[in-house]
Structure 1
Amino acid sequence: MKPHKNEAQILKFAMEIGVGYAKKRGYADFDKGISPKDKVECIYRLLVTDNLIQPLAKDKEDGPNMKHKLILWITRQLPADHPLLK
């Protein structure tokens, strides 16, 4: 896994977009009591269910790999000149 220069900011942006996507799909808003780890897993599983990202192998489904998948997903959606990608 090649880390991105702005990985934390990209993940934060991916989570914002993912939560917005979940709301549009009819899911309730994420409560403040939900841990970031659970939010990552929830968004990851929703994107896999909707065939927007390929699922990880069962033995690779862990927090860091799910975060990496979300980062890859959002970086592919952003234009090449986006400030987060520089």
Structure 2
Amino acid sequence: MKKLKNEAALLKKAIEIGEKYAINRGYKGFSATNAAKDKVESLYRLLVNDKMVHPLPTDNEDLQSMKHKLAIWISKQLPEGHELLK
């Protein structure tokens, strides 16, 4: 798995946008006490369920891979020339 440029910032943006998406889908949202790993896993599973990202193989389903998938997802959603894609 090749690390993306600005992957940490992309992941942060993916969580922010993903949470808004989840709320629009009827999810009550995350509380301030939810751990980042829980947010990542929840958003990943929601996006897989909605067929917005391809699922990871079950033997390769770890936190780092889920973070990477979310970063890839948001990089494809951002407009061309966005500051995080440079």
- For Structure 1 versus Structure 2, the TM-score category normalised by the shorter chain is over 0.9
Q: Percent identical across equivalent pairs?
A: 56
- Structure 2 residue 24 is the aligned partner of structure 1 residue 40: no
TM-score, normalising length: structure 1 = 0.96
C-alpha distance after superposition, 1:31-67 (max 9, x if no partner): 1111100100000000000010110000011000000
Aligned to 2:11: 11
Across the aligned residues of Structure 1 and Structure 2, the Cα RMSD in angstroms comes to 0.7
Shift of 1:80: 2.2
- SS for the counterpart of 1:47 is helix
The number of aligned residues is 86
Unaligned runs of 5+ residues in structure 1 are none
Unaligned runs of 5+ residues in structure 2 are none
